[in-house]
A and B are shown apart, each in its own frame.
Chain A
Amino acid sequence: MSQSLAPECNELKERYDTCFLKWYSEKYLRGVGTTNNNECSTMFKEYNTCLHRALKERGIDKLLDDAREDNKDNDATLMGRKKCKTPQRPEH
């Protein structure tokens, strides 16, 4: 597995990545894992608490927010929500 940009988060990242890869290949791709809550959720929270602290210290959190803002159109298209829903006009 790859390293974390924050060495202090490496161990938590390794644990989470291993869990995720197993879940992805054995459950998700077989249509079993369909909820946000799974056996890796707690590990993800622990890793992300560590990671977000590091991102804040380095000032990367703000850059991330900007990039997310720029990616909103892609999100709308690629999450498959945009084309399914047509706005309903109220009838008079």
Chain B
Amino acid sequence: MKVFSNSETFNYSWEEVSTANWRKYCPWNNKSTHVTAVDTVSRTLDPETGILRTERLITCQQSAPEWLKSILGGCSESQVLETSYVDPRHKTVTMVSANLTLSNLINVQETVVYRPVNAHQTQFTQEAQITALCGGWQRIKNSVEDALVKRFRENAAKGKEGFEAVLAMSRHVFAEERERERERMSLIQAQAGNIRMAAVAA
């Protein structure tokens, strides 16, 4: 088994990060083009704890090295199940992801946690455990594990960059929505004023 771990800080509030997390793989993120689909397969809210549990099925086009693809049989589409737990009282988002495809050969389990540093910053921690299960030579297992750790390391920088783009875009869109809401409210208030004046005049 090999372990990859990484930690980053985002200059956005936990609320912003946890909201943008649902849009992490949208077209605003031009660094995650290997993700071709994201589907919510289940979502439940525990009324007692307030914890929101979500299962997302993430479909990727594999970008594995050619030699690894040939071992794996050359299938290019793969699926990951991401189970996430939002705890609004403790302000944490924990996401556990596991590969569905080829899970009899390789087991990849990734845990990501988002928690606030302060009111404006959020910490991201990531840990992935990679285990090649295929029987056979230890050397081959090691190569498979090393290749996947390398892939995780390469994707980490891209992942941060892509998510930063989504966060910036989300903040922009929310600000626009608030502005539109304000305009609507002031229009309604003006209309109400007109009606009152008309009523007084009559």
Chains A and B bind each other: yes
Residues of chain A having any CB pair with chain B under 8 Å:
1-6, 9, 13, 16-17, 20-21, 24-25, 28-29, 31, 33-36, 44, 47-48, 51-52, 55, 60, 63-64, 66-68, 70-71, 74-75, 78-81
> CB within 8 A of A48: which of B41, B45, B50, B59?
B41
B36: chain A residues within 8 A (beta carbon): 3, 5
Q: Do B39 and A29 touch (CB < 8 A)?
A: no
B43: chain A residues within 8 A (beta carbon): 20, 44
**A66 to B102 Cα, complex, angstroms:** 12
Residues of chain B having any CB pair with chain A under 8 Å:
15, 18-19, 22-23, 25-27, 35-41, 43-47, 49-53, 55, 57, 59, 79, 81, 83, 85-88, 94, 96, 98, 100-101, 103, 174
Q: Do A29 and B18 touch (CB < 8 A)?
A: yes
Q: Beyond A34-B45, A44-B43, A79-B46, is A4–B98 a contact (Cβ under 8 Å)? A: no
Q: Do B23 and A21 touch (CB < 8 A)?
A: yes
Q: Do A2 and B38 touch (CB < 8 A)?
A: yes
A4: chain B residues within 8 A (beta carbon): 37, 39
Q: Is the interface of A mostly helix, strand, loop or mixed?
A: helix
Number of A-B contacts (CB under 8 A): 107
Q: Do B44 and A36 touch (CB < 8 A)?
A: yes
Q: Do B83 and A60 touch (CB < 8 A)?
A: no
B18: chain A residues within 8 A (beta carbon): 29
Q: Beyond A67-B81, A80-B51, is A29–B88 a contact (Cβ under 8 Å)? A: yes
Return B137 CB to nearest CB of chain A, in Å. Answer: 26
> CB within 8 A of A78: which of B27, B50, B94?
B94
Given contacts A2-B25, A20-B40, 14 further A-B contacts (CB under 8 A): A4-B39, A5-B59, A25-B15, A25-B19, A25-B174, A29-B88, A44-B43, A47-B40, A48-B40, A55-B57, A75-B83, A78-B94, A79-B53, A80-B49
